[in-house]
Amino acid sequence: MSEEFASADGLRAEFAELERQLAQPDVHADAARVRRIGRRYAELTPIVSALTELDVLDADLAAARELASEDATFATEAEQLEQRRGQLTERLVLLLAPRDPNDSSDALIEIKSGEGGEESALFAGDLLRMYTRYAETQGWKTEVLDAQETDLGGYRTLTVAVKGGAGAPERMPYARLKFEGGVHRVQRVPVTESQGRIHTSAAGVLVMPEVEETEVEIADGDLRIDVFRSSGPGGQGVNTTDSAVRITHLPTGVVVSCQNERSQLQNREQAMRMLRARLAALAAEQAASEASAARRSQVRTVDRAERIRTYNFPENRFADHRIGFKSHDLDQVLAGGLDPVITALQAAEVAERLAAR
């Protein structure tokens, strides 16, 4: 093995240890531990597989070079093997590039209506459907944790959890969806507009990695928990009991609330999931602001003031302003066709990380 991948032996040893742990029955008694081990195992699988393939390729290349002096066909084979080795090396460089430590996580997406009143709330609903449909194409599961609907079927605010199970980090929910954080602008004729004029409105999106209960320590004394009656646009879904829960984290002032479930206990559990994610994101943001420029490039923070997207309905145009991505298939994007822009954003992130090494 070439010294170009000096960490290969350590990664192989870690992979073997994870494999051993996953074979132990007692490990599977702890669901959180199994998820943690499974995600790391899935992260290392393509790397170890590529390293093994490189070992075989190096052995074949050495043999072909040795025999090339006796038979010209082996010289041709050596050239082909060298080309394959170059391609495999490039792939390994990408696999081993510094990555966001949260890439293997599931995600929580918070969408809030902004400028534009009811039209913005309706657009928030469009974004929810877009992410739900995209999750379906990826084989992920979605769960709305909390939502405040408007009379016309839009959303003032909503939070949805996206779970992806185990898989390669670059295909996990947070790794794909973290680029959605920011201000999304829509240009279209609102349903409330009688003159057919195009309006511009916006909705804010915040994406956070979901964290395990053991990853964020929250003292009971740091919480103020209030209960209240669920509110909404009306209908059978509105509770007549005080089952909605609002939790305030006193040291940071972070407030979360949940009213989707019919029991106070369920709403509290969902609110705690959101609170843990919020506190973890806040800690990451603070660490990034205190770190060096190189470190800051490895910790993503969400700037709600940053307009990242434009959805232009009259022109069927979709644009991501960060990387200059444009297309005229807005209808397909809203139907869940986000892969092209997300793949482009991931490639730009990898290039930035490699440049910062």
- Contact of 311 with 185, CB cutoff 8 Å: yes
Beta sheet of 244-249, edge-to-edge order: 223-228, 244-249, 254-258
CB under 8 Å to 29, separation ≥6 — which residues?
A: none
- Start-to-end CA span in the chain (Å): 23
pLDDT at 167: 64
195/227: higher pLDDT: 227
286/331: higher pLDDT: 331
Average of per-residue pLDDT across 171-195: 88
Phi, then psi, of 154 in degrees rounded to 5: -90, -170
Q: How far apart are CA 285 and CA 302, in angstroms?
A: 8
pLDDT beyond 50 at 303: no
Query: Which band of pLDDT confidence, cut at 50, 70 and 90, is reported for residue 319?
Result: very high
Instruction: Please tell me the pTM assigned to this model.
Output: 0.75
Query: Which band of pLDDT confidence, cut at 50, 70 and 90, is reported for residue 297?
Result: very low
**At 157, which helix (H) or strand (E)?**
strand 155-163
Query: Which band of pLDDT confidence, cut at 50, 70 and 90, is reported for residue 100?
Result: confident
Least confident piece of the model among 140-144, 263-267, 307-311, 353-357 = 353-357
Would you give the distance in Å from CA 11 to the centre of its chain? 24
Q: SS3 breakdown of the chain: % helix, strand, coil, rounded to 5? A: 50, 20, 30
Query: Which band of pLDDT confidence, cut at 50, 70 and 90, is reported for residue 164?
Result: confident
pLDDT beyond 70 at 241: no
Average of per-residue pLDDT across 301-319: 78
Tokens of 290: 């205190």
Average of per-residue pLDDT across 173-177: 93
Q: How far apart are CA 17 and CA 33, in angstroms?
A: 14
pLDDT beyond 80 at 24: yes
Query: Which band of pLDDT confidence, cut at 50, 70 and 90, is reported for residue 298?
Result: very low
pLDDT at 296: 42
Domains present along the chain, CATH in parentheses: 3-95 (1.20.58), 107-355 (3.30.70.1660)
- Contact of 227 with 245, CB cutoff 8 Å: yes
- Contact of 155 with 128, CB cutoff 8 Å: yes
Q: How far apart are CA 31 and CA 34, in angstroms?
A: 5
Average of per-residue pLDDT across 166-193: 86
53/232: higher pLDDT: 53
pLDDT in tens, 38-77: 878 888 888 899 999 999 999 999 999 988 888 888 889 9
pLDDT beyond 50 at 122: yes
- Contact of 228 with 244, CB cutoff 8 Å: yes
pLDDT beyond 70 at 120: yes
pLDDT at 286: 78
pLDDT beyond 50 at 1: no
pLDDT beyond 60 at 239: no
- CA distances (Å), origin 234, targets 141, 143, 237, 240: 28, 22, 7, 11
Phi, then psi, of 209 in degrees rounded to 5: -70, 135
